[in-house]
Amino acid sequence: MNQFLHGLVRTVAQTWRCESPVLDIGSYLVKGQESLCDLRPLFPGLEVLGLDFRQGPGVDVKGNAQTLPFAQGSIQTLISMSCLEHIAQFWKAAAEMERVLSPTGIALISAPFYFHIHNYPSDYWRFSPAAFELLFAQANTRIVGWQGSAKRPLNSWVILFGKDRDPLTKTDLSHFSKTLNLNCAEPIGWVRRVAFEVLALAVGRRVFSPWLDRNFWELRAHGVAGESSFVEVSSKSPYPIQ
């Protein structure tokens, strides 16, 4: 979890109606990251259930994401941030997330692409935006996006909308993109930024793009009302949809 992803959760909560129960998969509050990983304050007044494979701070239900202990369609809001890479059979967890999500619900799932190995308990996978497109292709209404440069995204993410939820509109996307720009900022010190910019001029930007482009984002929205194909939006042209 980083500050950009924390802002992404906030943006989803501010853009679309989120209802109880809210299920946070991978909710264990790692020491030193409590302020980033604790998502409960982003859903005031809602019941939030934290699920993780181990007991500890932030965990209400000890369980396995590959066999979620919830009935089909019983979860209105599902969040899973930087967790899928730690699940050995991630495709089973993805299917379980879709199973428990209510037909009127919303889900936000993220995973890293360009990131070091981090063991909680193990680190198995990396996900490109195309991986999320494939993994959740059956969701007719979805938004697939990423943080950072297109060639080296730091994180990929997907928002899933239940089949009976209100249609996704261009107005939704416009509001979402504006709010993303307000909420999603991953700070980089000015000394490091200047150093990277100078080095990028000397040897090329590509190597330093994960750091220099960490506050850029792009998304591809499927199932937008009135559109026959997907709609693309990016932070470089954030308000093309009105």
**Which residues, in sequence order, are bridge partners of residue 48?**
22
Report angle CA 118, 159, 134 to the nearest 5 degrees. Answer: 75
DSSP state of 21: P
In angstroms, the CA 92 to CA 68 distance is: 10
Q: What CA–CA distances, in Å, run from 166 to 119, 157, 163, 178, 224?
A: 39, 21, 9, 21, 11
Domain assignment present for residue 72? The answer is yes
pLDDT reading at 196 higher than 80: yes
Which pLDDT band holds residue 242 (cuts at 50, 70, 90)? very low
pTM: 0.93
The DSSP H or E segment spanning 5 is helix 3-15
Look at residue 241 in the predicted model and tell me its pLDDT.
52
Determine the structural domain holding residue 125 and report its residue range: 3-234
Distance of CA 105 to the CA centre of its chain: 16
Domain assignment present for residue 239? The answer is no
List the CATH number of the domain containing 31: 3.40.50.150
Domain assignment present for residue 242? The answer is no
**pLDDT tens across 118-147, in order?**
877 899 999 999 999 999 999 999 999 999
Look at residue 29 in the predicted model and tell me its pLDDT.
93
In angstroms, the CA 235 to CA 178 distance is: 9
Sign of CA dihedral 129, 53, 22, 98: positive
137-157: b (≥16 Cβ within 10 Å) or e = eebebbbbbbbbbeebbbbbb
How many separate domains does the chain show?
A: 1
pLDDT reading at 84 higher than 90: yes
In angstroms, the CA 22 to CA 53 distance is: 18
**pLDDT tens across 37-75, in order?**
999 999 999 999 999 999 999 999 999 999 999 999 999
Beta strands 231-234 and 217-222, pairing class: antiparallel
Domain assignment present for residue 28? The answer is yes
Confirm if 236 and 148 have CB atoms less than 8 A apart: no
φ, ψ of residue 111 in degrees (nearest 5): -160, 150
Confirm if 81 and 110 have CB atoms less than 8 A apart: yes
Look at residue 237 in the predicted model and tell me its pLDDT.
66
Q: What CA–CA distances, in Å, run from 184 to 9, 98, 122, 180?
A: 9, 26, 28, 5
Domain assignment present for residue 240? The answer is no
User: Which of 83-87, 192-196, 212-216 is the most confident on average?
Assistant: 83-87
Domain assignment present for residue 53? The answer is yes
Domain assignment present for residue 122? The answer is yes
